[in-house]
Amino acid sequence: MIQETDTSSSPLPEVDENDRERLRETSHRLLAHGSILREEHRDLHDWCQNRTQLIEEWASILGLKIVWLREERIIAAVPETPGLLRKLRLDETVVTLALWYDFHSEVSERGAGTSEVVLTFRDFNQRFDNKFTKLKRLSESRMREILRLLDRKNLVRLTGAEDLPSASIRVLPTIRFVIPFQDIEDWFRLASRFNETPSDTETEDIS
């Protein structure tokens, strides 16, 4: 005897099995990495774009806000509940702050449509030291760990990590949602805290 599956009580009764599988893949990727980049996951990105209401309803249940970066072809999930925020260590926070500033500066200088911000590691490291003069310089291995973390979270793309001095860092537009600032003065107020007496303060930033 074949037993029919009753979907009348399902929270998604009109979503077929193929779409359920796609939604499951979307869920895993957004929760693990914070965003979906079309250049890397074209089919999944386009599927989400064609089902915006479904994605937004799913996200609202989990406490996420979906941001559709259509020009950059990125779908980002921004946490709206404390439980989905990831606490960063002090050094992770300041590296993220430095990347945010460099991205913001490049976009401001070259125009709002700019989404490609690529830095050599040497250049970024020098700028980092200039921004946070009171902090002890991070070791190469620790800097590599942090940049790889931010790569996993789809905030940067790190190329050539094994030879870090020769590596390049592509900063993604998603960096704007990690620590949302009203204006550049907000950035300076937060960054100034780390140029005073360093502490073990953790900042809840990344989902």
Structural domain ending residue among the three candidates 82, 109, 129: 82
pLDDT above 60 (res 207): no
Q: Do 101 and 191 reside in the same domain of the chain?
A: yes
Q: Sorting pLDDT into bands at 50, 70 and 90, what band is 11?
A: low
How does pLDDT run across 88-144, given as a tens digit for each residue? 888 999 999 999 999 998 888 876 555 679 999 999 999 999 999 888 889 999 999
Mean pLDDT of the chain: 85
Q: Do 42 and 102 reside in the same domain of the chain?
A: no
**Domain range for residue 51?**
17-82
Helix-strand-coil split of the chain, %, nearest 5: 50, 15, 35
| Helix (H/G/I), strand (E/B), else coil: 175 | helix
Are the C-beta atoms of 161 and 147 separated by less than 8 Å? yes
Q: Do 199 and 98 reside in the same domain of the chain?
A: yes
CB under 8 Å to 191, separation ≥6 — which residues? 94, 97, 101, 131, 132
Question: Which residue, 163, 172, 170, is CA-closest to 120?
Answer: 170
Q: Note the pTM of the prediction, 2 decimals.
A: 0.83
